[in-house]
Amino acid sequence: MHVICINDVGKPAQISAEEWIKKGEKYTVIKAVKLKIGNKLAFSLAEKPLSEDNFPYEYWDAERFVPQEHYEEQVKYENVNYEIPLDIE
């Protein structure tokens, strides 16, 4: 699944500028998980893998992205939120 970053604000110190995501960029989701803390959906991205050097960050917060097919709508209506349809356990 391809997603577009809609929020690149708030880069933690543990992630370098080169590793950080950029608003408007397209990424490929290779894994989706539900985090135990906060019960949030999170992604592993093919283009921006997180390593042990990024601890405690292992995944990207899914709220920073929208599915590619919804990106133009998101740009028009910045306050609209979309559910990302993934079947995960």
Identify the domain containing residue 47 by its residue range. 2-76
Residue 86 lies in a domain: no
Count of domains forming the chain: 1
| Residue in the structure block whose two tokens are 């290779």 | 30
Q: How far apart are CA 85 and CA 22, in angstroms?
A: 23
First and final C-alpha spacing in the chain: 18
Q: Give residue 49's pLDDT.
A: 96
pLDDT, tens only, 57-85: 999 999 999 998 766 766 655 655 656 66
Closest C-alpha to 11, from 50, 37, 46:
50
Q: Is residue 89 part of a domain?
A: no
pLDDT class of 29 with cuts at 50, 70, 90:
very high
